[in-house]
Amino acid sequence: KASVFSILDSQHSSLSMASGSEGQGSPPSTPQRPPNRLGQERSPYLLQHAHNPVDWYPWGQEAFDKARSEDKPIFLSVGYSTCHWCHVMERESFEDEEIGKTLSDNFVCIKVDREERPDVDKVYMTFVQATSGGGGWPMSVWLTPDLRPFIGGTYFPPKDSGRRPGLKTVLTRIMEQWQDNREALESSGERVIEALKKGTSIAANPGETPPPAHDVANRCFVQLAHSYEEEYGGFRDAPKFPSPVNLMFLMSFWSVNRSSTEGSEALQMTLHTLRMMALGGIHDHVAQGFHRYSTDSSWHVPHFEKMLYDQAQLAVAYISAYQVSGEQVFADVAQDILLYVSRDLSDKSGGFYSAEDADSLPAAGGSEKREGAFCVWMGSEVRELLPVVVEGATGGATEADIFMHHYGVKEQGNVDMEQDPHGELQGQNVLIVRYSVELTAARFGLSVAKVSELLASARAKMAEVRKSRPAPHLDTKMLASWNGLMLSGFARVGAVLDDKALLERAVQAAGFLKEHLWDAERQIMLRSCYRGDEMEVEQSVSPIAGFLDDYAYVICGLLDLYEATLQPEWLRWGEELQDRQDLLFWDAEGGGYYCSDPTDPTVLLRLKQDQDGAEPSANSVSALNLLRLSHYTGRKDWSQRSQQLLAAFSDRLTRVPIALPEMVRGLMANHYTLKQIVICGQRDAPDTSSLLATVNSLFLPHKVLMLADGETEGYLYQRLPILSSLTCQGGSATAYVCEDFTCALPVTDPQELRRLLLE
């Protein structure tokens, strides 16, 4: 890799910490310089850098042309607006006049928001991980004028620190190497990219079929069971991530293995994890919603950032757990998540914002932002807020005594030092439910109803106090992909609970996507739009075309919205979008979809994401979308395409299915064939509603639901002429449960339908 990689060798071992996986927050404001080029951008992350003394360019042709005409290397810096280490590097280096001058004079400097341009981020992160063994944000990569990377890392301090070279040293050495050793630099970068092209290729061999679903699902279960942490649930000890893709797989696995010990173990793992998360500090007990992850194994002290994609997937996981178990607590948590999103992450246009930061200014004052400042409590604060002695409570206990007992609040704080490396949470408490309401009631000699009421009233008072604290930064960028995930959340929860307000919010979100992120003229999804200064929706000067996940997640959201509202317009749009997705991203040779436009010459690697991580791989989501759509449209080519996609990933599915639990669900759905549940009746009639409520009360991962309302000129009847032969029996709403439109005897009684669906 030429001598230049030795520049970074010493620091890579310790660099993976800088992964945006610590506290997040914006830097304190300094007297502002006139804005640089980024002042014209709309991304909150780019705007955070608009007053640096660095001649930043956004990713685009102007920057590339400048690098070529001046024959300068490119310095590419990638991050996102709620990334703690991005803010640290900005404060230390990009606000430094001397470093700013060195960068601007010797490099073409490009800033990228990874949430706006996941394609650029993925290519160069693949390079950084391959050459350094670590990765994370901020990502710092140096490229040739033709965009080939030759050196990369993550966070650099401004000056040398121990064995870690500072940014000044790195810049000086790269400038020297560019002058004296350029050929070696360029050829090493070229070699790495060529190796990555081979190493990241995912394709099916001609005639290959998907691997056997039963074996893959069993192996996925065994791998998850092996990594499961029994005491508090979750997978691995710490840090602990919610990983909804794992939980959704385990519930699907249970649904086809209900009578086996493995099936009941899968269910127990899921429900225990969801219960423990709901009790933990990762769940915001005062203002709802879930934080990003837990720094410990008991879900207690979180990294406090809140991401839209977590809320979306967790709402679906909790409502699925409610369908499976019938336990009200799971439905309550799902509603609680949607309350948070409706209140704090919603735009009046119907769109959803991306994230809320972890860091904010302390309520007591000071200019230094702190991790969790908005969410944590001192024991003395709680005592002051809840001083009233509770009538009839043992030992003359106050509301504060009862609250502090229940939520583990201590006078000296309840955060261990190892969970607080920077001492930001000293003397503070992160609320965590330590006892059941029954135990707390028994401890203080009160009724369960009285304690429940007291705790709810205390949480409401604390929510009011929080409103008066300095709020964390809100990333008001609206992404098509994450809005698609959230659309599924509102549609699924609304359908299960038959909650009209949630379904209206889902319809509003779909309307927002169609109005603001669908370019009808060019027939493409757009990646993002933004909240303007006057609270109106804005688009950037040159809108970013949507990526694979912008199509796949939105299509999934539209299919869920159809099943929740039975309004065929959403199915029709879903079909349209799937056609566009196929045209833009399908790999006709190897099968599967590319993550971004494979014809874009500025994106060096044509990647297909092969991991279901914090967000599911768009290929995993597409495997199920294609199958569902083939049943709604009668298009057999889409079920074949789903098979071809799964065949392309067959090596990974066979070896490490734990990396693709969402895709394993798609493989299972292909294997078990989807049940078609057709309800004949008028949409809003009571007898239709009670049949629909029966379907929605059950967790049925392998089904499509449709309404045959007799409108034979309508969208569904045109696609599926067979619907005309399914009619209402004796004038009542009637359900048909079919496979490939071979139907069981029609039923009109909800209990009979339930029995049929559970067979």
* CATH number for position 51: 3.40.30.10
Containing structural domain, residue 457: 375-468
Lowest mean pLDDT among 106-115, 258-267, 360-369, 409-418: 360-369
Average pLDDT over residues 324-341: 98
Burial (CB < 10 A; 0-12, 13-18, 19+), residue 732, is middle
Average pLDDT over residues 611-620: 97
Domain harbouring 745, CATH code: 3.40.30
Strands 528-531 and 478-479: antiparallel
pLDDT of 207 reads: 87
Domain count, the chain: 3
pLDDT of 31 reads: 63
* Alpha-carbon gap, residue 341 to 632, rounded angstroms: 31
pLDDT of 367 reads: 85
Is residue 455 pLDDT above 50, yes or no?
yes
Mapped onto helix, strand or coil, the DSSP state of residue 74 is strand
Q: Is residue 233 part of a domain?
A: no
pLDDT tier, 22 (very low <50, low <70, confident <90, very high otherwise): very low
Q: Is residue 131 part of a domain?
A: yes
Q: Is residue 504 part of a domain?
A: no
Report the share of the chain in percent with pLDDT over 90.
90
* Residue that is written with structure tokens 């997040």 in the block: 24
pLDDT tier, 421 (very low <50, low <70, confident <90, very high otherwise): confident
Average pLDDT of the chain to the nearest whole number? 94
pLDDT for 33-68, tens place per residue?
A: 899 999 999 999 999 999 999 999 999 999 999 999
Average pLDDT over residues 196-214: 93
Mapped onto helix, strand or coil, the DSSP state of residue 371 is strand
Is residue 232 pLDDT above 60, yes or no?
yes
Domain boundary among 447, 468, 489: 468
* Alpha-carbon gap, residue 64 to 73, rounded angstroms: 10
Is residue 24 pLDDT above 50, yes or no?
no
Report the share of the chain in percent with pLDDT over 70.
96
Question: For the whole model, what pTM was predicted?
Answer: 0.95
Contact between 488 and 316 (Cβ < 8 Å): yes
Average pLDDT over residues 7-23: 35
The secondary structure of residue 91, as a DSSP letter, is I
Is residue 177 pLDDT above 90, yes or no?
yes
Residue 80, number of CB atoms within 10 A of its CB: 24
Domain boundary among 468, 488, 511: 468
Average pLDDT over residues 560-570: 98
Is residue 26 pLDDT above 80, yes or no?
no
pLDDT tier, 668 (very low <50, low <70, confident <90, very high otherwise): very high
* Residue that is written with structure tokens 């199509």 in the block: 551
Nearest to residue 687, comparing CAs of 624, 753, 601, 627? 753
Instruction: Pick 522 or 31 by higher pLDDT.
Output: 522
pLDDT for 475-497, tens place per residue?
A: 999 999 999 999 999 999 999 99
Q: Is residue 69 part of a domain?
A: yes
Average pLDDT over residues 208-222: 97
Nearest to residue 372, comparing CAs of 722, 22, 744? 22
Is residue 84 pLDDT above 90, yes or no?
no
Q: Is residue 713 part of a domain?
A: yes
Is residue 8 pLDDT above 90, yes or no?
no
Q: Is residue 737 part of a domain?
A: yes
Is residue 162 pLDDT above 90, yes or no?
no
The secondary structure of residue 79, as a DSSP letter, is E
Lowest mean pLDDT among 185-194, 242-251, 580-589: 185-194
User: How is the chain split among helix, strand and coil, in percent rounded to 5?
Assistant: 50, 10, 40
pLDDT tier, 6 (very low <50, low <70, confident <90, very high otherwise): very low
Is residue 395 pLDDT above 60, yes or no?
yes
Q: Which residues contact 628 (CB under 8 A, 6 or more apart)?
A: 559, 674, 704
Which structure tokens are listed for 521? Answer: 């003229």
Average pLDDT over residues 704-726: 95
Average pLDDT over residues 112-130: 96
Average pLDDT over residues 220-233: 98
* Alpha-carbon gap, residue 666 to 624, rounded angstroms: 5
Q: Is residue 56 part of a domain?
A: yes
Q: Is residue 521 part of a domain?
A: no
Average pLDDT over residues 225-253: 96
Domain boundary among 200, 216, 238: 200
Q: Which residues contact 663 (CB under 8 A, 6 or more apart)?
A: 612, 617, 619, 620, 623, 646, 649, 653
Lowest mean pLDDT among 1-15, 111-125, 389-403, 485-499: 1-15
* Residue that is written with structure tokens 């609970």 in the block: 497
Average pLDDT over residues 152-169: 93
